[in-house]
Chains A and B, each alone.
Chain A
Amino acid sequence: MSTRTAAFIVLTLLILVGAGYLYQTYLLSGRLPAGQYGPVRFPFALGAILIVLCLVELVRELRRQPAAAESGEPEERLEIANVGKLVMTVVLTGLYFYLWQRFGMFYLFTGGFVLSLLLVYRGYGGPGAVAALAGFAAVFVLVIYLVFQLAFGIRLT
């Protein structure tokens, strides 16, 4: 994807965020007594400024394209390497949060999370390598227990 397309998508989303924010502020203003400078004026101003700035940037982006095309500059690309591993990192993190939240057992799921990330990043290198990675994950979880729970008294469940 070109950075220009990505910018258009993000700026459009931000305009929607600004509109939603303004709508929520409007709903809030209906529930409050009319005041001189209450809790809605500042948010109203922010929502409006966000939309105006995003529109300004959209126009700038539109004007930048013909200028770049005229000068023969190649279109800048939004390059994201290692997309598969990146997506796996986010998905595994979400799954880890869900399992921890649903079942507790922090140390078990943390060990599993670390091991799964190691396997994603380093690949499957045979049973011996997996055992070594599992050993690393176990030692790391033990360190977390010693530092956070025992030394600092932070309860992780």
Chain B
Amino acid sequence: MFDFLFTDFASVLTIGSLGAILFGTLAGLIIGALPGLGATIAIVLLLPLTYTMSPLASVLMLIAAYQGAEYGGSISSIILGIPGTPAAVATAIDGNAMARQDMAGKALGYSLAASTVGGIFGGIVLIFIAVPLARLAVRFSDPEFFLIGVGGLIAVAALSSRNAVRSAISVVLGLMLGTVGMDSFTGAQRFTFGRLELLEGIGMIALMTGLFAFSELYNIVSRELDKRFSSGSKKLSTGLTLAEFRSVFRTVIRGAGIGSIVGVFPGMGAGPASWFSYIQAKKTSRSPETFGKGNPEGIAAPESANNATVGGSLVPLLALGIPGSPATAIILGAFIIHGIQPGPNLFAASPELVTGVFVGFLVATVMMYLAGRLVTNLFARALTVPNSFLVPVVLTLAIVGIYASQGLHFSLWLALVVGVVAFFLQKLDFSLPSFILAFILGPIIERSLRRSLLLSDGSPMIFVERPYALAILALIVLFVVAALVSNYRRSKAAQAG
């Protein structure tokens, strides 16, 4: 089952792949460090570059950017007390408190060490869960994939917004957009309005860039354009002594466990994982009263968890071909660009690619640590770049990326419209993660549904007659019931309060 552990790693990790990891790590670190930008934007901005790269190098560059951005987010949290991403909010509490005690370097040291251990832990979980899950998933057929897709959407819709109905509307809008283009069964053109640019569907890069990069930049223009941050003038050393590292080791491992498990589930991601880990660390700490005042465990717990989610979130993508978060949806895009469909068959069809991703993942984590040690100080200075310079630069890079992906001006207009619409929808509690996952999963869900019904001669009983399908259906029902009960209890508590 784990034959890849005996692979000749030199044949997997070429100079090109290592260069891609280094580039992705540095890009992820700097983009993650900038307040307002995060892992998703880092990956979106790099995706167009993957067209000219090998499949393995492409995927590794994006994974490295994902890892790097999760650590990078802690830099602004600690130094400025401004979490750039939801995943770094918990880190800001104790990280910034420690920084204010003139120990910013030490706080970053705890963050870097915890992120590295969390990343490696997530990588190990990825390897040891993805392989058996893919083996199991080989036995799945269309009814199971249909149900997994639907289950993923339900989970994302339930967890990614305060308003469940608006989140569900976001899901339906994403599914609707996924139906644009030529129908793969009949060749019929759906909702193309005669435009050749839409024959292959809505461009994924244009849509994602508009949705995440453009809308976020509009948010910065609206809220924080005139802000200027100061990171201080002291040199920051991110080194830790062995005793310091040992003092948080248990917390780090516990956080890594929480993060890697949470990461596997669609719709959860790094934000909730870091909070679960922080709360758990506070509960089990010998000195819970020092949380919020610069306790190193309060930095190590969320940081190990948010990096561990990276490995966990790749499990459903690699083993089932189904992304559970916007970041992994973009990584799926890199596979698709190269004509590769992730999923159980990938393990048999391209074992060298899967091995390369596993090994490269661990290498990317180590490289994140080395880069963090060497360049955190430099990247902390990047925080002082005024947003009035940052917005034109990032916006132009995003535009160039969209054009580079397909060479179509149509994609640029699409991204502009999507960006403006997303900016407003977000303000009204519609869920962008639900939307994008529905867009990605829509074609998979429709294809599986139609094939299932063809197989069963139109009978929906096919979804309850097969044991695996029935088990997945039971899990979905269980999740829905749990969500409803939790909502009911919350509203009761709110009424009582």
Contacts and interface: CB of A to CB of B under 8 A. Distances in A.
Nearest to A88: B221
Contacts of B48: 154
Contact of A28 (B190, B403, B413): B190
Interface of A: 3, 6-7, 10, 14, 21, 24-25, 28, 31-32, 35-39, 42-43, 46-47, 49-50, 53-54, 56-57, 60, 78, 80-83, 85-86, 89-90, 93-94, 96-97, 100-101, 110, 113-114, 117-118, 121-122, 136, 140, 144, 148, 152-156
B418 to A, nearest CB: 12
- Interface bin, chain B: 35 or more
B221 A85 contact: yes
A148 B389 contact: no
Contacts of A100: 409
Contacts of B176: 21, 43, 46-47, 50
Contacts of B400: 110, 144, 148, 156
Interface in B391-440: 391-393, 395-397, 399-400, 403-404, 407, 409, 412-413, 416, 420, 424-425, 427-428
B222 A81 contact: yes
Contacts of B132: none
Given A53-B168, A97-B416, A140 B396 contact: yes
A24 B173 contact: no
A39 B420 CA distance: 30
Nearest to A21: B176
Given A93-B416, A121-B225, A140-B396, A28 B458 contact: no
26 contacts: A6-B428, A28-B190, A37-B449, A37-B454, A42-B446, A43-B176, A50-B173, A53-B169, A57-B166, A60-B165, A78-B428, A82-B221, A85-B221, A86-B221, A89-B391, A90-B416, A93-B399, A94-B413, A94-B416, A110-B396, A118-B388, A121-B388, A153-B52, A154-B49, A154-B52, A156-B403
A97 B411 CA distance: 10
Interface of B: 48-49, 51-52, 165-166, 168-169, 172-173, 175-176, 179, 183, 185-186, 188, 190-191, 217-218, 221-223, 225, 387-389, 391-393, 395-397, 399-400, 403-404, 407, 409, 412-413, 416, 420, 424-425, 427-428, 446, 449-450, 453-454, 457-458
Contact of A154 (B172, B387, B404, B412): B404
A113 B396 contact: yes
B172 A50 contact: yes
A28 B400 CA distance: 36
A114 B403 CA distance: 17
Given A3-B428, A28-B188, A114-B392, A54 B453 contact: no
A42 B392 contact: no
Contact of B223 (A14, A21, A46, A81): A81
B449 to A, nearest CB: 7
A22 B451 CA distance: 23
Contact of A46 (B51, B179, B387, B453): B179
B409 A43 contact: no
A117 B395 contact: yes
B191 A85 contact: no
A39 B182 CA distance: 10
Contact of A117 (B165, B391, B404, B424): B391
Nearest to A116: B392
Contacts of B188: 28, 31-32, 38-39
Contacts of B388: 118, 121-122
A113 B393 CA distance: 10
B186 A32 contact: yes
A97 B186 contact: no
A23 to B, nearest CB: 11
Given A50-B176, A86-B221, A90-B416, A57 B169 contact: yes
Contacts of A36: 453-454, 457-458
Given A97-B416, A144-B396, A89 B179 contact: no
Nearest to B186: A39
Nearest to A57: B165
Given A93-B395, A113-B396, A140-B393, A85 B225 contact: yes
A28 B187 CA distance: 12
A74 to B, nearest CB: 18
